[in-house]
Amino acid sequence: MRRRMFVSAGGAAMLAGCARISNALNDNGTIHNILGAAQPLNHLIIGTHGRAKTYRESDIDSDFRVNGFDTPSDARYRDLVQGRFGAYRLVVDGAVERKQALSLAELRALQTYSEITRHDCVEGWSAIGKWSGVPLGTVLALAKPAANARYAIFHCFDRAPEGDPYYESLDLKEAAHPQTVLALALNDRPLDPDHGAPVRLRIPTQLGYKSAKWVYRIQVVDSFRAIHGGKGGYWEDNGYEWYAGI
Amino acid sequence: MDAAGAVPARTVETHDAEALVVRHSGTTRITHWVTVVAFVVLLMSGLQIFNAAPYLDASDKSNPQRRILEIGADTAIPGKSAGVVRIFGHSFGAGNVLGYTDDGAGGVAERAFPGWITLPGYQALADGRRWHLFFGWVLVVCGVAYFIAGFRRKDLQALILRRADLPKLLPMQLYYFRLRKDPPPYGRYNPLQKAAYTLVLFVFTPLIVITGLALSPGMDAIAGPLTTVFGGRQFARLWHFLLMVALIGFVCVHITLVASTGVVNNLRSMITGKYQLGKHEGDGP
């Protein structure tokens, strides 16, 4: 009995040692930087080409999984919900020639896109929904990005529990992809607050964290280094890759 | 070995017992050990990634109705939480081994695979992906270098299972089980070795890379059929996992045989390249 306890205690210590070693390797800054070399390679080779697969109506998840941060509960967002988003304006500014402030009605008038696509979460799960809205390229074309413009930054109403705001970014090539859209409706119904109302980004060629919910401002920039954590998105600032095609 | 035709089946003890042959080229030896590191890192970081969604569905989108495997926890009774593994709907208690286990940071938590076998030990999907996507490249680059060098030197040809090897598979297995006194005659590798290496090098390893790529939405957009042929994204995730299990099985058998057929000789051949032939072995193809 004592020997068995000794063996199992020794085993447990050895196993705990395993985690300590892998944690130490993971926390090493040099190793962390070397591992990051895979991202530009994946971006270069996979990139944003082709078209995400489209599905039939019968494939749709009628109860599309809600994920991400909690639905914003601050006064600004609550008032918008109560006013049925009548006061909502999507601001497009930054390195653009014609700054925009588009109402929901104006966005609806631009709606041309509707496709049933799969949403792939970085965690590993997938869900299928019918997304309808305005191609992002249409909205950006209205604003005319300046010659030095390289990225579109999406500022959102939601915040992490610690208070950091959610934001995302795409380069203008990804933004111009015909399936990159500002979604206004899911499964033929206007987006509900839990799914990102009134406007969310939807990019089926990349992982779900790129598809930012509750977007209120698109800022066109030449670099995202000076914005929030400087990595181009909330999850990117927390260690995830900026290129989320893999 | 030029006199292959004259010496019946090359199994007779014609070679000098002390003679060492060069069995593994420099490329084979380097790529072997780099692959060992890549395999360990990919396995551990892969389990870290699995933990973020600890279930596998035989479908395109996530679908609990087609759930094949799920590793969860029963936390209904406070203080008596335990892991539960569900396979095809049947539940098995997993105690504190899986499901409710070592959190890699000195405690116990609800997580599928324990901290001692994930990279990093603590739960961190972003970091697991960083390791996995980098060492995926290491494996691919290593594999390509090995294949090019191996085919050029004709080393790989000796590993490929041929039609002539098929009737020798059963006798060889019987020999391993000690149900037969002598193995069937063979060259540099025995027929079971050839079967295992052919499967691992030409089927399992390429497929585990391809099923991994099939999980990528960017890849799915470029090469649609890739994800479809595996039954969809979630199904590809299931194949990716099953291939991991198959490769772990191979590694276990591989290590057992390395250890039981002259561990010093075997290890030396993979470090310096030099190998001492056994009494049944030849050095031809």
| pLDDT band at residue B1 using 50, 70 and 90 as cut-offs | very low
Reported ipTM: the value is 0.93
- B chain contacts of residue A234, beta-carbon cutoff 8 Å: none
**What pLDDT shows up at residue B285?**
57
Q: Is B217 on the interface with A (CB under 8 A)?
A: yes
Of A18, A26, A246, the CB nearest to B133: A246
Comparing alpha-carbon positions, the chain B residue that sits nearest to A48 is B218
Verify whether the Cβ–Cβ distance A47 to B136 is below 8 Å: no
Query: What is the Cα–Cα distance from A180 to A187, expressed in whole angstroms?
Result: 17
Tokens in use for B86? 């569900």
Comparing alpha-carbon positions, the chain A residue that sits nearest to B59 is A126
Verify whether the Cβ–Cβ distance A15 to B237 is below 8 Å: no
Q: Tell me the pTM.
A: 0.92
| Class of B8-24+155-276 in CATH | mainly alpha
- B chain contacts of residue A49, beta-carbon cutoff 8 Å: 218, 221-222
Query: What is the Cα–Cα distance from A245 to B220, expressed in whole angstroms?
Result: 9
Query: What is the Cα–Cα distance from A36 to B127, expressed in whole angstroms?
Result: 10
- In angstroms, the separation between the Cα of residue B97 and the nearest Cα of chain A is 11
Residue pLDDT, tens place only, A191-213: 999 999 999 999 999 999 999 99
Query: What is the Cα–Cα distance from A129 to A119, expressed in whole angstroms?
Result: 8
| pLDDT at A18 > cutoff 90 | no
The three-class DSSP label of residue B88 is coil
**What pLDDT shows up at residue B224?**
82
| pLDDT at B7 > cutoff 60 | no
Query: What is the Cα–Cα distance from A99 to A92, expressed in whole angstroms?
Result: 6
Nearest to A16 by CA among B51, B103, B43, B38: B103
- In angstroms, the separation between the Cα of residue A24 and the nearest Cα of chain B is 8
Element (H, E) at A103: strand A100-103
Query: What is the Cα–Cα distance from B213 to B140, expressed in whole angstroms?
Result: 12
- In angstroms, the separation between the Cα of residue A239 and the nearest Cα of chain B is 6
Q: Is A16 on the interface with B (CB under 8 A)?
A: yes
Verify whether the Cβ–Cβ distance A124 to B237 is below 8 Å: yes
Whether the CB-CB separation of A159 and A220 falls below 8 Å is answered with no
Tokens in use for B128? 């697991």
- A chain contacts of residue B125, beta-carbon cutoff 8 Å: 122-123
The three-class DSSP label of residue A212 is coil
Query: What is the Cα–Cα distance from A168 to B146, expressed in whole angstroms?
Result: 41
Q: Is A19 on the interface with B (CB under 8 A)?
A: yes
* Count of CB pairs separated by less than 8 Å, A with B: 148
Residue pLDDT, tens place only, A78-98: 999 999 999 999 999 999 999
- B chain contacts of residue A23, beta-carbon cutoff 8 Å: 104-105, 120-122
Locate the domains of chain B by residue range.
Answer: 8-24+155-276
Residue pLDDT, tens place only, A100-143: 999 999 999 999 999 999 999 999 999 999 999 999 999 999 99
